[in-house]
């Protein structure tokens, strides 16, 4: 197959972003308005617009495209707005409230006014049927097929066509669930049925049930959306491969996602870590942190050893989703976070947000409480006239006045100091969020460069890096296509799990390798159906282990060679080592239990996204002038150089303190940092005191010129 062009498409709430990468490596970025009522139409609309810029009809243009990778928030939006399909749940008799009871906790300890999360399945649509197996998979009570049939009829009468089946211990014995699925399929023609043992053969009844219910709730929505999308693409004669982004950081085909729809929940930002890796890889890192700061929230994720880190205990809208998904930690801090002084005289920023409306005071949309963005404006980080490419002028005076009255006066600070306080407090919160995701895995944030995205990200990133003692950060030139770029390099990924209760030292290795073999077979078949050739398929076997008596498992990745023969002693060593890294101790005198057998099947995508060399000017060409910005180091306003980012080409370098204007946002280069444009056109900021070490690594595509 000759290599054609590839397109990444990221459907967001407001805009649908396109990134076209031609076979020669040249790129085209395009943006079109999203159409929430019919998201697929925005996709073809954008493709049509791109074709027009090239003077082609859409059919001609798509003839030269062999892959489209697509990220969608269709499922997430359906869930968050509770516009998914009315869903029925079939449980084991005696466990009708497995969902409502969740894990038994309330998110706020003392707040008796807090309401439980809105159910995804009503209790009346939860039906419980007799039939029970033990944790060892032995049948205790036979499945009542009559009860299943009656339940199916009731669902049918109520017009419910989305069903989740989740029985106690079905991970150990799936027979009852399989039979129930057959019966329900007969009773409810065309039903979308999720069988928990098929989706997630893993112990913990609430986790498995909640995940299954989420899958059925959004399943038909995804199925219909993908149907419309593929039909629309067929209409315009697209003959290439359509791939969809999953929340585990891999891609799959439309058919693959239809059965595991829950994998599209939170898939939007799932390509960010891979995109981050793309930014740091030219400089020799296989690890990074990605941070994305928007209007209301701050997301952070980690890539380590070339792979995005995943978790299996995530939640969405307060419901558990236990499928492996990219570990993205979100905290309520963004440009719209509201600053206030409490009655005790402490400055607080967030978690309340002014959102888009009324928004920050400086946006002139009726906001009356100062926000992070207002502080950024007062501190000179965001130029009032350059915001959104000059389309909107920010009201600096109103922002300063509100900060003076609401923050400065109560704290006895002048308006600038008060704004600097807001900036610092929000930065500390975000840094704490980043710390949390690293330390809970035993990682040291100082070892990771940061890749920064989002409107407010570049304004705050250097300060966050400073707080975490991180020497290097990268700001991509166009952060809007950051996720779309990541999608184009995400591999195919399918995860398999089977719960067991084994003692590591006494288990039969043939049993483990047998399970892996059947998972690998399943993975191979799926990947080959997706068009991946055998030589591009690889497997990552792993075991979830714990010391006997512990309740939380640690995922221990093993070599691919373990598939043929598992070295138990080596697996134990690896477990001890990871335990020691994460928790500061390990112990040789306790048995190790194996809880889950896992396999990840990966299919490498073809092609490279190395961009062609960019053209562009030096710092001198890009110099716009000077203005005063806040220096956290000197704790006062200082004169700083202002540059136009679009005029800076690879190799252009500047010294902090400085501002690089990017039209939609600006990069704040603090006093301690210098910045250089790298070979991909991204802006790399590094601690000046570690300049020689960092500059060695940073690839600019030209001989570095030391100032």
Partner 1 sequence: MTATDHAIDPILASVLQRRLDAISKEMATLLMRSSRSPIFNEIGDLVTVLFDARGRTLAQAEYAAIIAFGARPPLDYIIEYFGDEICDGDVIVHNDVFTGGNQNADTGIYVPIFHEGELVAWAAAKGHLADTGGMTAGGYNPAAREVWQESLRIPPVKIYDRGVLRKDVWDLISANIRFGFVMEDVKAMVGACEIGRRHLSALLDRYGRPTFDAHMQYVIDSSERQVRAEIARWPDGTYRGESEMVSDGIDPSRRYRIACEITIAGEEISFDFSETDDQAPGFTNMPPASAAGAVRIAFLMLVAAGDVIIPTNEGLFAPIRTVFREGSLLNPRFPAATIFGNQMSDEIMECIMSALADALPDRVTAGWGKYVSTALHGRDPVTDDPYVTLTVFQRNGPGAMQGTHGWDAFGFSGTAGQMRSTDPEMLEITSPHFMEYHELLPDSAGAGTWRGGYGTRSAWRTEGVGAHGVSMGEGLEAEGALPGRGIFGGRDASLSRMVLEFPDGSTKEWGSKEMVSLPPGTVIRSWCGGGAGYGDPLERDVDDVVAEIQSGLLSVEKAREDYGVIVAPGTQELDERATLAFRSGAYLKGSK
Under the binding rule (CB under 8 A), the answer on residue 235 touching partner 1 is no
Give min distance, CB of 135 to partner 1, in A.
5
User: Where do we find the tokens 């990840």?
Assistant: 600
Asked if 331 contacts 429 with a C-beta cutoff of 8 angstroms, the reply is yes
Instruction: Provide the CA 339 distance to its chain's centre, in angstroms.
Output: 27
Beta strands in 255-321 (DSSP E): 288-293, 298-304, 307-308, 310-311, 314-316, 319-321
Residue among 24, 342, 564, 588 that touches partner 1 (CB under 8 A): 342
- Max Cα separation, the chain? 82
Residue 415 structure tokens: 């308006």
Give min distance, CB of 585 to partner 1, in A.
6
Quickly count: other Cβ atoms within 10 Å of residue 654's Cβ. Answer: 26
Give min distance, CB of 235 to partner 1, in A.
44
Residue 354 structure tokens: 């002014």
Asked if 236 contacts 58 with a C-beta cutoff of 8 angstroms, the reply is yes
Residue 392 structure tokens: 């909107």
Binding positions for partner 1, 430-449, rule CB under 8 A: 432, 435-436, 439-440
Cβ distance to partner 1 smaller for residue 221 or 422: 422
Give min distance, CB of 120 to partner 1, in A.
14
Asked if 234 contacts 245 with a C-beta cutoff of 8 angstroms, the reply is no
Alpha-carbon distance of 295 to 353, in angstroms, equals 8
Asked if 499 contacts 594 with a C-beta cutoff of 8 angstroms, the reply is no
Give min distance, CB of 214 to partner 1, in A.
17
Nearest to 99 by CA among 227, 196, 211: 211
Under the binding rule (CB under 8 A), the answer on residue 108 touching partner 1 is yes
Under the binding rule (CB under 8 A), the answer on residue 587 touching partner 1 is yes
End-to-end CA distance of the chain: 48
Phi, psi for residue 255 in degrees, rounded to 5: -65, -40
Under the binding rule (CB under 8 A), the answer on residue 634 touching partner 1 is no
Give the total residue count for the chain: 707
Give min distance, CB of 116 to partner 1, in A.
7
Under the binding rule (CB under 8 A), the answer on residue 116 touching partner 1 is yes
Stretch of residues binding partner 1 (CB under 8 A), selected from 58-66, 253-261, 547-555, 668-676: 547-555
Alpha-carbon distance of 447 to 327, in angstroms, equals 18
Cβ distance to partner 1 smaller for residue 96 or 524: 96
Residue among 52, 59, 103, 139 that touches partner 1 (CB under 8 A): 103
Q: Kindly give, in sequence order, each residue whose CB lies less than 8 Å from that of residue 120, ignoring residues fewer than 6 positions away.
A: 79, 82, 84, 87, 99, 213, 214, 217, 319
Calculate the CA dihedral of residues 627, 632, 637, 642 and round it to 10 degrees.
-10
What x-and-dash track marks residues 356-395 binding partner 1 by CB under 8 A? ----------------------------------------
Under the binding rule (CB under 8 A), the answer on residue 101 touching partner 1 is yes
Under the binding rule (CB under 8 A), the answer on residue 157 touching partner 1 is no
What x-and-dash track marks residues 126-155 binding partner 1 by CB under 8 A? --------xx----x---------------
Under the binding rule (CB under 8 A), the answer on residue 552 touching partner 1 is yes
Under the binding rule (CB under 8 A), the answer on residue 405 touching partner 1 is no
Binding positions for partner 1, 408-427, rule CB under 8 A: 411-413, 417, 420-421, 424-425
Phi, psi for residue 11 in degrees, rounded to 5: -90, 110
Stretch of residues binding partner 1 (CB under 8 A), selected from 182-190, 220-228, 429-437, 471-479: 429-437
Residues that bind partner 1 (CB under 8 A): 93-98, 100-101, 103-106, 108-116, 122-124, 134-135, 140, 168-169, 203-207, 342-348, 411-413, 417, 420-421, 424-425, 428-429, 432, 435-436, 439-440, 501, 547, 549-552, 579, 582-585, 587, 590
């Amino acid at each position: 197959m000759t290599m054609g062009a590839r397109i990444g498409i990221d459907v967001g709430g407001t805009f649908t972003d396109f990134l076209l990468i031609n076979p020669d490596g040249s790129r085209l970025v395009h943006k079109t308005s999203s159409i929430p009522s019919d998201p697929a139409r925005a996709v073809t609309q954008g493709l049509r617009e791109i074709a027009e810029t090239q003077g082609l009809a859409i059919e001609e243009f798509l003839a030269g495209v062999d892959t489209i990778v697509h990220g969608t928030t269709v499922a997430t939006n359906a869930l968050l707005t509770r516009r998914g399909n009315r869903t029925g749940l079939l449980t084991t008799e005696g466990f009708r409230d497995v969902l409502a009871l969740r894990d038994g906790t309330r998110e706020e300890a003392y707040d008796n006014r807090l309401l439980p999360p809105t159910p995804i399945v009503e209790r009346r649509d939860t039906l419980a049927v007799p039939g029970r197996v033990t944790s060892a998979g032995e049948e205790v009570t036979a499945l009542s097929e009559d009860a299943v049939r009656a339940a199916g009829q009731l669902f049918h009468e109520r017009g419910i066509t989305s069903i989740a089946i989740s029985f106690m211990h079905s991970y150990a014995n799936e027979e009852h669930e399989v039979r129930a699925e057959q019966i329900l399929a007969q009773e409810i023609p065309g039903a979308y049925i999720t069988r928990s043992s098929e989706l997630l053969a893993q112990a913990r009844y609430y986790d498995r049930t909640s995940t299954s219910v989420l899958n059925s709730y959004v399943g038909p929505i995804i199925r219909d959306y993908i149907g419309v999308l593929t039909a629309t693409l067929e209409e315009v004669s697209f003959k290439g491969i359509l791939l969809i982004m999953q929340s585990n950081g891999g891609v799959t085909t439309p058919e693959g996602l239809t059965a595991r729809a829950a994998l599209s929940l939170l898939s939007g930002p799932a390509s960010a870590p891979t995109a981050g890796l793309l930014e740091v890889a030219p400089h020799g890192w296989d690890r990074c942190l990605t941070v994305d700061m928007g209007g209301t929230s701050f997301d952070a994720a980690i890539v380590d050893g070339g792979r995005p880190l995943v978790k299996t205990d995530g939640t969405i809208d307060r419901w558990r989703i236990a499928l492996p998904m990219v570990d993205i930690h979100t905290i309520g801090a963004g440009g719209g976070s509201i600053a206030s002084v409490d009655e005790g005289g402490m400055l607080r920023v967030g978690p309340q947000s002014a959102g888009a409306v009324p928004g920050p005071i400086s946006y002139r949309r009726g906001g009356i409480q100062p926000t992070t963005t207002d502080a950024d404006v007062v501190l000179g980080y965001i130029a009032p006239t350059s915001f959104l490419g000059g389309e909107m002028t920010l009201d600096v005076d109103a922002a300063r006045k509100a900060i003076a009255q609401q923050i400065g006066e109560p704290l006895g600070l002048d308006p600038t100091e008060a704004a600097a306080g807001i900036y610092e407090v929000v930065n500390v919160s975000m840094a704490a969020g980043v710390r949390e995701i690293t330390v809970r895995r035993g990682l040291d944030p100082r070892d990771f460069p940061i890749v920064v995205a989002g409107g407010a990200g570049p304004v705050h990133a250097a300060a966050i890096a400073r707080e975490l003692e991180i020497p290097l950060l990268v700001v991509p030139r166009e952060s809007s296509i950051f996720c779309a770029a990541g999608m184009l390099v995400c591999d195919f990924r399918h995860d398999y799990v089977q719960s067991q209760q084994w003692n590591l030292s006494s288990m039969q290795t043939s049993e483990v390798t047998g399970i892996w073999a059947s998972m690998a077979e399943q993975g191979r078949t799926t990947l080959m159906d997706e068009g991946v050739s055998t030589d591009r398929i690889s497997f990552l076997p792993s075991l979830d282990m714990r010391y006997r008596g512990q309740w939380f498992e640690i995922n221990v990745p093993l070599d691919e060679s373990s598939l043929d023969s598992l070295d138990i002693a080596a697996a134990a060593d690896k477990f001890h080592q990871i335990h020691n890294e994460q928790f500061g101790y390990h112990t040789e005198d306790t048995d190790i239990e194996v809880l889950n057998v896992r396999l990840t099947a990966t299919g490498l995508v073809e092609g490279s996204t190395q961009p062609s060399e960019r053209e562009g000017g030096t710092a001198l060409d890009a110099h716009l002038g000077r203005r005063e910005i806040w220096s956290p180091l000197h704790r006062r306003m200082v004169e700083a150089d202002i540059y136009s980012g679009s005029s800076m080409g690879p190799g252009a370098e500047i010294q902090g303190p400085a501002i690089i204007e990017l039209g939609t946002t600006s990069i704040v280069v603090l006093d301690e940092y210098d910045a250089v444009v790298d070979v991909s056109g991204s802006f790399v900021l590094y601690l000046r005191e570690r300049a020689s070490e960092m500059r060695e690594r940073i690839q600019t595509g030209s001989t570095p010129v030391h100032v």
